[in-house]
Amino acid sequence: MTKPCIICCAITGSVARKENNPAVPTTVDEQIESTQAAFEAGASIVHAHVRNDDQTPSSDPDRFARLKEGLEKHCPGMIIQFSTGGRSGAGQERGGMLPLAPDMASLSVGSNNFPSRVYENPPDLVDWLAATMRENGVTPEVEAFDLSHILQAIRLHRDGKLYGKLYVQFVMGVKNAMPVDREVFDFYRKVMEDRAPDAEWCAAGIGANQIVINEWAIAAGGHTRTGLEDNVRIDRNTLAPSNAALVRRTAELCEKYERPVATWQQARDILGLKSAPAM
């Protein structure tokens, strides 16, 4: 049997607003509802940021706590992944929700440019976030915006600094960072296969490239991410009606390449995460 493909849905992010697409869930209640539909459509990981009432990005642990509680109730078994990507300039508050012990949290291990700012991840902050994840039993998903981030993730994991199984996400198509490039993508995969054969990898593309990277990752045997955080359109002229719609088109690609869509149980097994408590 071919390996199941884990679909992650990045529901909200820190940039897209209702003005860009009214389907972007920004309140905790909207996030829970949107995630439940994405879960039913085949997503087994939810990647979440939280927002303030005015839609600006927030690091408020109370909002994360309410979100986690609602997700556990309405999406039992789904893997909950909180973002520590956070806001420009923010330091340790980016990890303020880690004591809530979500299954996973995103972790950036190096710096790079974003569309209009430097995405700053100094070594001491990376070490602190990784250590706090270890203390709370949180498996990182390393966000690799560059080749050096993949190599750094492998090194940190080998040194025992990353909790659990190594899981690296290739992010391509962020303006001013690594573009969507087939040769680079193939080299990323080769680096993972040669140097971290026991690890798992996934890939995410930004904007119109979301579907391109979904297809490359699914065809190559990796896992993949979709959702309104990375892309608000379903095609060039049409806004995506929901996170679930983006999950469905990813699931259709899995079918095209005869990859079963991973259930939450399979996804937990593949990523070495604890099984969810029986609901």
- Residue recorded with tokens 């190559």: 220
- In this structure, what token pair is assigned to residue 96? 């303020």
Which CB atom, from 5 or from 174, has the smaller least distance to Zn ion? Answer: 174
Which CB atom, from 4 or from 144, has the smaller least distance to Zn ion? Answer: 144
57 to 96: interface string for Zn ion, x by CB under 5 A? --------------------------x-------------
Instruction: Annotate 140-157 with three-state secondary structure.
Output: EEEEECCHHHHHHHHHHH
34 near Zn ion (CB under 5 A): no
**DSSP code at position 163:** -
Which CB atom, from 81 or from 242, has the smaller least distance to Zn ion? Answer: 81
- Taking the C-alpha atoms of residue 4 and residue 44, their distance in angstroms, rounded to an integer, is 11
In the complex, minimum distance from the CB of residue 106 to Zn ion, in angstroms, rounded to a whole number: 6
Which CB atom, from 44 or from 83, has the smaller least distance to Zn ion? Answer: 83
In the complex, minimum distance from the CB of residue 237 to Zn ion, in angstroms, rounded to a whole number: 26
In the complex, minimum distance from the CB of residue 175 to Zn ion, in angstroms, rounded to a whole number: 16
Q: Which helix (H) or strand (E) holds 274?
A: none
Which CB atom, from 21 or from 263, has the smaller least distance to Zn ion? Answer: 21
In the complex, minimum distance from the CB of residue 11 to Zn ion, in angstroms, rounded to a whole number: 9
- In this structure, what token pair is assigned to residue 234? 């379903």
Q: How many residues bind Zn ion (CB under 5 A)?
A: 1
Residue closest to Zn ion, measured at CB: 83
Residues 149-178 that bind Zn ion (CB under 5 A): none
In the complex, minimum distance from the CB of residue 101 to Zn ion, in angstroms, rounded to a whole number: 19
- Taking the C-alpha atoms of residue 232 and residue 17, their distance in angstroms, rounded to an integer, is 10
Q: Under 8 Å CB-to-CB from 6, ≥6 apart: which residues?
A: 44, 45, 200, 202, 223, 224, 262, 266, 267, 270, 271
- Taking the C-alpha atoms of residue 46 and residue 215, their distance in angstroms, rounded to an integer, is 20
Contacting residues toward Zn ion, per CB under 5 A: 83
